[in-house]
């Protein structure tokens, strides 16, 4: 697979109008240089100074820049970067985030050391001046490979499959079929949800490891491709429809319950905050949520819905009944 003799780890970066944060990204990249590590950056038709800043950075760093002639979105940009990657291992960085010194070499070392097809790690959530460490949701031993399916679990609590952070992971492309690493390009947001489900359902190994740290910027208006407009927000419905496709096709009742549990949680989250949306989008949200929650078996749904607050449970059951009635009409 490797095309360059020294290719070890390619770091996929997608950016659109990210000039505001690129100096921090470049400084972070410089502090994570090591033999065999390269950055593959897709500029998704930026209209600010992003192209000039990337061209300047490419003169001093192992950074390959690919430019989309028109805006295609984060999923398509990541696919294009994966096409350009030629290292055995791959990871992701968002252009408005940054890594602690040595984070990327540590991730490369971890995936080589454990022999797992994918490694997952913790991160630091950044909100303005606030920093909060978030551990990968895994209670088993760290630095030890296990079957990726073990990261799914059953309904309730948090699980690795619902820890959808591409940049808090690294992947061995010799152990993972290329199709499993492709993103659904019609998903403008939440494309990482079915992506991780596909990986955890596959016959792969996973390991959870420590690392120096990835700093994930959550501030609004950061310039990240994952900061999307309100209409794009509703793509989570299609994303979870695909998660349920995968779970129901798998046939394991626990997997079905986990997928429905995740759908219930994310629907409850967005519906409880629907005041942010226009009335037209609120109607689309409620109709789409009803259709999504109508899926799956009644017993699995009842187990899944128990994870919601009491008020949320009533709402979720009502949406499911509405969706079932509309489907029967």
Q: In whole angstroms, how large is the CA radius of gyration of the chain? A: 20
Strand partners, 209: 121
The helix (run of H) or strand (run of E) holding residue 315 is helix 310-328
pLDDT at 232: 85
Write out the residue limits of the CATH 3.90.550.10 domain(s) in the chain: 9-217
pTM (predicted TM-score):
0.93
Using 50, 70 and 90 to split pLDDT, how confident is the model at 224? very low
Q: How many CB atoms lie within 10 A of CB 248?
A: 17
pLDDT at 219: 56
Q: What is the mean pLDDT of the chain?
A: 93
pLDDT at 221: 43
Q: What is the mean pLDDT of residues 230-241?
A: 91
Q: What number does CATH give the domain 9-217?
A: 3.90.550.10
Segment 136-146, tens digit of pLDDT: 999 999 999 99
Segment 270-324, tens digit of pLDDT: 999 898 888 999 999 999 999 999 999 999 999 999 988 788 899 999 999 999 9
Distance of CA 47 to the CA centre of its chain: 25
Is the pLDDT at 226 greater than 60? The verdict is: no
């Amino acid at each position: 697979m490797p095309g360059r003799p020294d290719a070890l780890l390619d770091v996929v970066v997608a950016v659109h109008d990210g000039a505001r944060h690129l100096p921090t990204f470049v400084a972070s990249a410089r502090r994570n240089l090591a033999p065999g590590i390269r950055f593959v950056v897709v500029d998704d038709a930026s209209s600010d100074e992003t192209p000039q800043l990337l061209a300047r950075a490419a003169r001093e760093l192992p950074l390959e820049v690919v430019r989309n002639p028109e805006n295609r979105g984060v999923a398509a940009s990541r696919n294009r970067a994966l096409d350009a990657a030629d290292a055995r291992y791959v990871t992701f960085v968002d252009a408005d985030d940054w890594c602690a010194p040595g984070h990327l070499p540590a991730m490369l070392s971890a995936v080589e050391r454990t022999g797992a097809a994918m490694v997952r790690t913790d991160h630091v959530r950044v909100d303005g001046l606030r920093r909060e460490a978030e551990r990968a949701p895994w209670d088993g031993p760290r630095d030890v490979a296990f079957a990726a399916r073990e990261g799914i679990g059953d309904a309730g609590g948090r699980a690795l499959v619902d820890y959808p952070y591409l940049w808090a992971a690294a992947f061995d492309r010799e152990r993972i079929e290329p199709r499993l690493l492709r993103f659904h390009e019609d998903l403008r947001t939440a494309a990482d949800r079915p992506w991780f489900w596909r990986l955890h359902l596959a016959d792969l190994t996973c390991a959870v490891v420590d690392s120096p740290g990835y700093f994930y910027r959550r501030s609004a208006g950061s310039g990240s491709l994952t900061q999307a407009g309100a209409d794009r927000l509703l793509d989570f419905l299609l994303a979870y429809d695909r998660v349920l496709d995968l779970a129901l096709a798998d046939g394991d009742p626990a997997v079905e319950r986990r997928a429905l549990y995740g759908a219930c949680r994310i629907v409850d989250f967005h519906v409880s905050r629907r005041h942010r949306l226009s009335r037209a989008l609120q109607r689309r949200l409620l109709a789409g949520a009803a259709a999504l929650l109508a899926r799956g078996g009644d017993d699995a749904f009842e187990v899944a819905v128990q994870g919601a607050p009491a008020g949320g449970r009533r709402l979720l059951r009502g949406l499911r009944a509405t969706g079932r009635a509309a489907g029967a009409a």
